[in-house]
Structure 1
Amino acid sequence: MASNDKPNVAYDPLPLTGDDQPTTSLYNAPPSPDPRLSSFHTPQMNPTELGADPSIPVGAAQPRFLGSTALYDGPAMRESFASSQHTIPNSEYTSSVYALNDPSAPGRFEGSYRDDPRGSYYTGDQNVPMSPVGAAGGRTLEEKRTAYAPPRAKSRRKIMILAVVAALILLLLAVVIPVYFFVVRPNNNESSNASTSSDSSASKSNHATATSSASTPSATPVTGRDGSEITMEDGTKFTYRNSFGGYWYYDENDPFNNGARAQAWSPALNETFRYGTDKMRGVNLGGWLNTEPFISPALYEKYLNNPTPAVDEWTLSEAMRADTAGGGINQLEDHYKTFITEKDFAEIAGAGLNFIRIPIGFWIIEVRDEEPFLPKVSWTYFLKAIKWARKYGLRINLDLHALPGSQNGWNHSGRLGTTGFLNGPMGYANAQRSLDYIRILAEFISQPQYKDVVTIFGIINEPQGSVMGQDALARFYLEAYNIIRTAGGTGEGNGPYVSIHDGFFPRTDWTNTFPNADRITLDSHPYLCFNGQSSAPISTYATTPCTSWGGAVNNSMASFGLTNAGEFSNAVTDCGLFLNGVNLGTRYEGTYIGVWPRMGSCSTWTDWQNYDAATKRAIRQFALASMDALQDYFFWTWKIGNSSRTGKVETPAWSYQLGLENGWMPTDPRDATGACGNSNPWSPPLRAWQTGGAGAGIPASVSSNLAWPPATISMGGAVTTLPTYTPTGPIPTLPVPTFPSSVTVNAGSGWANAADSQGVFVPIPTCTYLDPWVDPSTAPPPVCAAGTRREAIPDPLFTPAPQA
């Protein structure tokens, strides 16, 4: 590996064989697991082969990571999530690990990536190796910032200087004040007192501005480096550990100060993050504010013996509400308080990571009708997340993980079952409601107090594109994009990057969909573990991420623009408690729905307490290859909770924290640089308009072709025949944080753009509506007079490019 002490020292090439045996070539990776297997029988594309599963409602979609739920012709789900051998042409996600980079079938892959500097199977522009992860010039250039001192607490010398200045000011006032009262004021007795301006968006409901009339300097340290002591809100103390030159900063009298830096090589929050050049090395806080059974299994294990076991947050909330003796629905807030704390944010910065992706459900804003979710409470903890991220120099990718009606029918969308977003009779109404939630969140995070911390907004997590169709999804994306730009404005620093998920379509399908869009990034979630299973050891996967993902990411960076992997993990099998869903078994052990040959016992993969040194090295190598191939990434996830039955983590391949503690995750993510070879990398920077620079904006012709709403909704029919809401409801503006009365600070109003004053979508009193979560095959109610549509969101104005 390159030395930290010497500039521009090339990394030693990594042996890509995945074992400790000598090899004749550093680039001769072993074959993918069990190459003798050439096909699988996977009945997912034909649901009638699966048989009934009593844990899934009739007519419901299959659990997360299964194949397409569409029962009509169209593109199938990509196999990184699907279990089918049916593929989408030209997608890097459509092959299983048994046929990676098969030279006999290059069309199965997006691009023709080969990580071999000695030659290539293909020639021409399509042979594009992946981009480097490290900044140009090596670590030494990245760490030069350590020479700059962080903000420091006031020293005695500074206090003395301030005292002298104050004395001079008092002396000056002693002269000026008499002159004013005895000379100036008598000649100007008609002057009026100045008044402070009121908040221009005072008409919004539930908003507040935290201010006070006095400020008392605090003796509490406001910054610190490696080894400093941190006291949390509950009085618990821990030692901040950061060997990468990072430092925390928090002044209770200046709570919006952005002086913290996660690491020496990561820009401080008050500096510009150069997307496409500075790397997003991130981790998810999955299962915290939006629960999932395999991440926090103890919450779900408590209700396994119920007549209706908890399988998603909907049924978990119902079970908790009925369990008054056990704490009721407030058990969820107990989870928020304890599952993730300030210490986790400090540890994430100390692990060399600079970004956090935080999944939330729409109930962070409100619930309607009979939705059982705990409303609004998780917002209190998202505000804490902003505070802690600011303190440790971390940036946030806000991920809207669950939408009304469900965007994919999987348990993490809030309710396991069917897809009711942009699908079925309530598909349009649910989309209207979702756009409002996007608008409310965008208005909050675009405020100057928060925009430098929450810098990316993932507007939908994993929509089932094959169900709703790419055209309808693209129209929704463009409408959401315009709403976000209306909230914060255009240009660098004005509101967040807009992150759109690929909808399980190949990345190439999104090229030129939104040309000249201001700060947009394409999100993909590559996984290997939900395909055909193999008992081959983890060491045989040493370069699988490189050959599977590297070239496609590189091509997307060049053609689409900023590309990120919002999720990936160390899992190469589907072993783990509740990973596929509650009580659904595993493919690996042959207990999952359908016909799956048993590969062996999952204990080989889940018994992390007995991993030997070679296994840990192999997992680490796989993690490094994944990081290098994906370039800008967010590992899923930071923490996995213990099972209440076994008292330990049962899905170790998914916990970054557990890997750090036990030696199979890199203590320095920069070690990934060069893990895939990087023979001919894509060269930053991104185009100017892709980073908020001057540009013409999305062409009018594109906006016209993707006008909102779509003419028809999948399984629903013409939009004009479907239930629709009217934009006349009061806006549930998100509350801002509060501070002690001794602190004078403007926390904002919760609404960045006062001119954006139209109401939110609500039911028309005279119209009939179906349950937002109704089965999509249900017939729509009789046509009702449509409500007033929200005025079309105009394309944001862009600063014209300078003329040559």
Structure 2
Amino acid sequence: MAHHNDDVAYDPLPLTNDDAPSHTLYNAPPSPDPRLSSFHTPQMVPSELGDDSSIPQGAAQPRFLGAALYDGPGSPALRDSFASSQHTLPSSEYNSSVYALNEPSGLGRYDGGSYHDDPRDSYYAEHGVPMNVMSSGSRNMEEKRAVYAPPKAKSRRRLMIFGLIACIILIILAVIIPVYFFILRPSSSTKDSQNDTSTSSGDHTSKTSSASAAQPTASAVAVTGGDGTLITMEDGTTFTYKNPFGGTWYWDENDPFNNGAKAQSWTPGLNETFQYGIDKIRGVNLGGWLNTEPFISPALYEKYLNNPTPAVDEWTLCQAMTADTASGGINQLETHYKTFITEQDFAQVAGAGLNFVRIPIGYWAIEVRDNEPFLPKVSWTYFLKAIKWARKYGIRINLDLHALPGSQNGWNHSGRLGTIGFLSGPMGYANAQRSLDYIRIIAEFISQPQYKDVVAIFGIVNEPQGSFMGQDNLAKFYYQAYQIIRNAGGTGAGNGPYVSIHDAFFQRSSWNSYFPNADRMTIDSHPYLCFNDQSSNPMSSYATTPCSAWGAIVNASSASFGLTNAGEFSNAVTDCGLYLNGVNLGTRYEGTYTQGNYPRTGDCTPWTDWQNYTPATKAAIKQFALASMDALQDYFFWTWKIGNSSVSGKVETPAWSYQLGLENGWMPTDPREAIGTCGNTNPWSPPLTPAQTGGAGAGNIPANAVANLAWPPASLSTGGPVSALPSYTPTGTIVTLPPPTFTSTSGKSAINAGSGWANNGDTTPMNVPIQGCTYPDPWVDPNSAVPPTCAAASRRAFVTPAPSS
């Protein structure tokens, strides 16, 4: 059984029996330390992970096998938990004018605890003035008709002259109007969209751009609409857009960078400023789409389960697909991209009241090297579709770089299950150099004016295992990436996306001193309750657990670090589910987990047999979801969709699917329902500081802090001095990501989709192998001996490009 050091005290989780007196407690599992950002098993180093003999060939520790955090004598003292911070605030989204529609005092339409936007409701019945109807038989009308006699007849000659003049005018208008709408107006619109300015618009800042204004251009088809409108997708199929929250879609092939869409009435449109800290991120992940995972898309992996080398991660999946030429080879992966997430999913996300999607993507969207078997570049094509669909429905994107060369955590979602070769081992520094190049390439693309309002957040590394590489070395990498992203966005604060850094399973508070005054940086944590000791207590006993476990931590981090987001969380309180821990690795709950010694707690069937959930069970899951949303405040549920098993024909991990929960009644149809679930105890009061949101002081990181973040690090914890490790040199041709292509139907010149590179002054070459040098495999075991390296004189470290003027 996983355990913690005896000198750390843990309170029991507040799990109450709904059928017993309020003071009665179940025998609950140990409460997760309220200081933790995530909860994992206690292994800290590879040697503690035990024998790999029980793992399929090519596999190692699974996705969620992490270190128990903050154990040992140096860990800080336990502090009490507090509930969440949601409460009514001045100028907050909860009492702003968007709810009352700026109506005068006493005439507001926010009554009875609900929001009304129907002009037919009682408000208008009480305050409206009915129009007088004037029929054709009206006495007043008859009197007027009697007063005015018909005009005198005109001569034939004068009528002919006037007729000729009218014809000439009509001909002129017939020429001018099409020229304006189809040539002049779209051209001006595109130009303005790239040179916009900001003006105040209510609670949000509206970017005054004709391209961004939600005005339809002259087109043969509708370019905008709301609830109930018919959408035709690329393949010709149609669906009805359902959005009861006042959201509007916008798409015009002649104006593809128009940001006129709005996800919901209360969410700022893409042509408005999203006020982080005030406007809430209510998001969901599109996990398992462009970066596959066995438990999200089990059918992909089940097909090759009986191979000599079973598919356990995307590496082995690509190898198996490539060999399976009869089924289409590796192109099967593109079929998954085409079908797993479509435009309709984005429309449903907006209709579910959500305003953000977090999209995991692997580095192979850019390129692969040597013998890496991943399908290169194709996933980028589908990320471009994601940008298009998100723009159409007013949704913002958090692009998350989920897999780095060598693996940042050794889990299956990093591309290859096994060991950690990023900032660890003989190739640890070279893999970090290569990763920085990929971050730079992505940052240059998404910082272009055509994309910057849609791709609003860039998560630079997903779940790095900080205990392997060390927090200081990881912080240096983070700072180097931060500088690269800010350089890609151009000079001056406020340019480019928010930079999202994962807490690396350290306390969030431990990151406060590293990047003070950083320009728009957010810290990401993944709080899960299900990967530690298991409990058979019912779902209802977890009603307020998220509030006590996470609420106070989020409040403290928001006040000290700044924008704090939960990049992943789920409804799972046990680790039940097909492949959740990895292919053929079992579960803790049933005592079959091959990576630890867990006693059997019970049968997983009641937790996964969602088709037989009772109304009480669904209500308990929904309560847990609401408490999680309220406690985490700015969040991305993991994940939107779970695919069916090819064996059972159904979803086998229901606690992880937002879409399934909506369809079956255990997820809220309106996420605002979560507000106040935790009681609003010990709240954090927005807004964020100007420096944290790109305003005054942003980017002015103190010199002493910068000095501690010098790159590269002197030494790696596994691998030794960086000066003795293999490295790349910046002499390669820059790789740029291709933009989408659009076909204008208006007959005007080609649409400018950008070059893929925002900062033309950023010309530093890419890091590539030094000619004549021999390198170990980038995925080499980090405990391998360091090979002889090329002469130090030929080695060059990565240099941050100087900002362009």
Go from structure 1 to structure 2 and tell me whether the alpha carbon gap of 1:306 and 1:273 turns closer, same or farther (over 3 Å shift): same
In structure 1, distance between residues paired with 2:310 and 2:477 = 35
Specify the alignment match of 1:605 in structure 2.
607
Q: What is residue 28 of structure 2 aligned with on the other side?
A: 33
Radius of gyration: which is bigger?
2
Report what 1:624 is aligned to. 626
Give the RMSD, CA atoms, in angstroms. Answer: 3.1
1:136 corresponds to: 92
- The answer on 1:89 being equivalent to 2:75 is yes
Unaligned runs of at least 5 residues, structure 2: 1-13, 34-38, 102-115, 120-165, 180-190, 195-215
State the partner residue of 2:752.
746
TM-score (normalised: structure 2): 0.80
Report the CA distance between 1:713 and its aligned residue.
Answer: 1.4
Distance 1:565 1:32 in 2: 28
Q: Does the 8 Å CA contact 1:32/1:541 hold for their aligned counterparts? A: no
Name the structure 2 match of 1:66: 65
- Check 1:620–1:500 CA distance in 2 against 1; reply closer, same or farther (3 A cut): same
Matches within 5 A, 1:183-202: none
DSSP 3-state at the match of 2:420: coil
Distance 1:32 1:677 in 2: 25
Q: In structure 2, what is the equivalent of residue 499 of structure 1?
A: 500
- CA displacement at 1:57 relative to structure 2: 5.6
SS of the counterpart of 1:504? coil
Does residue 311 in structure 1 map to residue 281 in structure 2? no
Q: Deviations over 1:660-709 (max 9, x none)?
A: 00000000000100010003311111000110102161122221211110
Please state whether the residue corresponding to 2:231 is helix, strand or coil.
strand
Are residues 1:335 and 2:291 paired? no
Q: Which runs of 5+ in 1 are unaligned?
A: 1-15, 69-75, 79-84, 91-106, 116-128, 150-159, 174-195, 200-214, 799-804
- Distance, in Å, in 2 between the alignment partners of 1:508 and 1:393 is 33
Instruction: Kindly indicate whether the alpha-carbon contact (under 8 Å) linking 1:524 and 1:565 is maintained by their aligned counterparts in 2.
Output: yes
1:130 Cα offset (Å): 2.5
Superposed CA deviations along residues 470-526 of structure 1, whole A, max 9, x for unmatched, are 011000000000000000035565210000000100001101210110000000000
**C-alpha deviation, 1:144, in angstroms:** 5.3
Counterpart among 715, 723, 728 of residue 725 in structure 1: 728
How far has the Cα of 1:310 moved from its partner? 0.2
CA distance in 1, matches of 2:324, 2:457: 38
The one-letter amino acid of 1:716's match is: G
Which of 645, 665, 671 is 1:643 aligned to?
645
Is the CA contact 1:144–1:264 (under 8 Å) kept in the aligned structure 2?
Answer: no
Match 2:768 to one of 754, 758, 762: 762
| Native 8 Å contact 2:44 2:467 kept in 1 | no
Match of 1:33, as an amino acid?
A
Letter in 2 for 1:89: S
Letter in 2 for 1:113: S
Per-residue deviation, 1:596: 1.1
Shift of 1:218: 2.4
Matching residue's letter, 1:793:
T
For the structure 1 residues 616 and 630, does the alpha-carbon distance in structure 2 shift closer, same or farther, using more than 3 Å as the test? same
Relative distance call for 1:672 and 1:711 in structure 2 (3 A) is same
Tell me, in whole angstroms, the C-alpha distance in 2 between the residues paired with 1:502 and 1:252.
Answer: 41
SS at match of 1:230: strand
Q: 1:664: which partner in 2?
A: 666
CA 1:61–1:711: 2 relative to 1, 3 Å: farther
User: In the comparison of the two structures, how many residue pairs are matched?
Assistant: 682
- 3-state secondary structure, aligned to 1:108: coil
1:188 matched residue in structure 2: none
Deviation of 1:108 (Å): 3.0
> Which string of whole-angstrom CA distances, capped at 9 and with x for unpartnered residues, describes residues 289-344 of structure 1?
00000000000000001011000000000000000001100000000000000000
Distance in 2, Cα, partners of 1:781 & 1:689: 45
**8 Å CA contact retained: 2:728, 2:769:** yes
Tell me the amino acid that sits aligned with residue 517 of structure 2: N
Q: Distance in 2 between matches of 1:323 and 1:317?
A: 10
Match of 1:53 in 2: 53
Q: 1:681 to 1:43 in 2, by over 3 A?
A: closer
Pairing of 1:480-519 with structure 2 (within 5 A) = 480-489=481-490, 494-519=495-520
The whole-number CA distance in structure 2 between the counterparts of 1:29 and 1:557 is 34
CA contact (8 A) 1:521 1:561 kept: yes
Q: CA deviation at 1:148?
A: 13
Choose which of 766, 782, 785 in structure 2 pairs with 1:779: 785
- What's the CA shift for 1:745? 1.9
8 Å CA contact retained: 1:133, 1:670: no
- Map residues 351-362 of structure 1 onto 2, 5 A cutoff: 351-362=352-363
Note the C-alpha offset of 1:216: 10
Instruction: Give the partner amino acid of 1:771.
Output: D
Counterpart position of 2:424: 423
Distance (whole Å) between structure 1 residues aligned to residue 716 and residue 672 of structure 2: 45
Residue identity matched to 2:75: P
Instruction: Return the offset for 1:795.
Output: 8.3
* Aligned residue type for 2:344: K
SS in 2 for 1:398: strand
Which residue does 1:802 correspond to in 2?
none
Cα distance change on mapping 1:48 and 1:19 into 2, 3 Å: closer
1:168 is displaced (CA, Å) by 11
> Residues 352-402 of structure 1: CA distance to partner in whole angstroms, max 9, x if unpaired?
000000000000000000000000000110000000000000000000000
Alpha-carbon distance change, 37 to 684 in structure 1, aligned in 2, over 3 angstroms: closer
Q: Kindly report which structure 2 residues correspond to 1:342-421, keeping only aligned pairs within 5 A, or say none.
A: 342-421=343-422
Counterpart selection for 2:78 from 86, 97, 108: 108
User: Does the C-alpha gap of structure 1 residues 407 and 41 become closer, same or farther in structure 2, counting only changes over 3 Å?
Assistant: closer
Mean Cα displacement is larger for which, 133-142 or 675-684? 133-142
Structure 2 residue aligned with 1:789: 796
Q: Structure 1 311/739 Cα, relative in aligned 2: closer, same or farther at 3 Å?
A: same
Tell me how far 1:633 sits from its aligned partner: 0.2
Sort the Cα spacing of 1:49 and 1:61 in 2 relative to 1 into closer, same or farther, 3 A.
closer
How far apart are the structure 2 equivalents of 1:382 and 1:233? 15
